[in-house]
Structure 1
Amino acid sequence: MSEKDAAFPITGMVESELRSEGDWIEEHNNPARITLDRITTLTIFGVCGWSLIETPLEIGVSNSSTGILALAVSKFIVILTGTSAIARVRAARAIFAFICGASVLAIATALPFVYARSVEISVISTVECVLKTVCLGALCLSSLQKKPRKRHAGTVHPGMRQDRPPSDDVIRGA
């Protein structure tokens, strides 16, 4: 192996020998990212699950058919947005975070009044508020975390071409 090949090992490779995108991403995974993604997914599942659990209680409060229809539509929106957020559909996490944030603001301000009327309903509302707050925090933290750059399989970084060594800008990361 020549000194040039030792310094720039990619220059001697053909395109089929380059690592695939999956190999590159697996090698550069951050354990903190994996954990935060799992926590975010679990909290989204928790919010959607709790939304379904409390549905019978909310149906019991509503007497009109329009109230039940509104409840069904709202549950459908929460479940659809939550499922989309878990599947990483573009902007779904932001929409789900907005829904959670607006809901927390509405529930938290009403908790003292609910507690005066019924301790059981206030406990259910408190659990919902805590779940949505934790989910909102996880969504915010995961959006602030730096994402690894993906590279397409078979492509070579412009600074790593086979015909010349990398420039100073590529080495410095600029």
Structure 2
Amino acid sequence: MFSTRTGHRFFRQAEPDACGSFHPNGLAVIISTLVVCWWTLIEAALDFVLIDSDTALATSIATRLILVVSGGAVVLESRIALTVFCFLCAMSVLALASAVALQFNEPLLRPAVCLVDSATKALFLGCAFISSTKSNARHWRNDSLAFAPDLVSPRVRSADKTFRQTSFKGD
């Protein structure tokens, strides 16, 4: 059932980027992506009740389908899916943030749905940002000459069986 290379036989591992380094999505990113997709599917079901126009319903279902498909690509670790999904979530949060205050004049269901939608997408964006900064910090190198491997002398065992740091003066 489990593969040593990918971790699971059904999911392939993400391919290396242009630099040849591999940056897998973190568990928090995958879970928050699934939460966003799950809430999007719940919203699609609520659209059948809340939207009266056929064209508005078709547009809403199509946009939610695009979001769910791109979220599925993030879970399967497609190459640019995380960037596309982050963009879609960020644009959605920016569009919904200005509309939340206007929806409090309507019944409580619409502002509650809008607030939960914004919160789940903001959660995903936060997880994606933290995951990207941790993966960048993991691959960060100290280019200082003081830590160059050829300048640090090796530790050798002395006669009394303790380790000591040798100096560059030949002792």
> What is the TM-score with the length of structure 2 in the denominator?
0.63
- Cα pair distance change 1:21/1:76, threshold 3 Å: closer
Matched, 1:59 2:37: no
Matched, 1:37 2:56: no
> How well do the aligned residues superpose, as a CA RMSD in angstroms?
2.8
Matched, 1:101 2:65: no
Q: Which of these residues, 108, 115, 127, is aligned with residue 138 of structure 1?
A: 127
- Cα pair distance change 1:21/1:47, threshold 3 Å: closer
Unaligned runs of 5+ in 2: 7-22, 140-146, 151-171
Tell me the CA shift for residue 92 of structure 1: 0.5
Tell me the CA shift for residue 118 of structure 1: 2.0
- Cα pair distance change 1:120/1:63, threshold 3 Å: closer
Query: As a proportion of its length, which structure holds more helix?
Result: 1
Letter in 1 for 2:36: V
Runs of 4+ in 1 over 3 A off after TM superposition: 169-172
Q: Which of these residues, 69, 74, 77, is aligned with residue 63 of structure 2?
A: 74
Unaligned runs of 5+ in 1: 1-19, 23-32, 150-168
Among the aligned pairs, what percent are the same residue? Answer: 23
Matched, 1:171 2:149: yes
Q: Which of these residues, 113, 116, 120, is aligned with residue 124 of structure 1?
A: 113
- Cα pair distance change 1:115/1:89, threshold 3 Å: same
Q: Which of these residues, 40, 44, 49, is aligned with residue 38 of structure 2?
A: 49
Q: Which moved more, 1:138-147 or 1:109-118?
A: 138-147
The total of aligned residue pairs comes to 123
Q: Which of these residues, 78, 90, 104, is aligned with residue 89 of structure 1?
A: 78
Q: Which moved more, 1:75-84 or 1:136-145?
A: 136-145
> What is the TM-score with the length of structure 1 in the denominator?
0.62
Residues 145-160 of structure 1: matches in 2 within 5 Å? 145-146=134-135
Q: Distance in 1 between matches of 2:37 and 2:83?
A: 16
Letter in 1 for 2:114: S
- Cα pair distance change 1:119/1:62, threshold 3 Å: closer
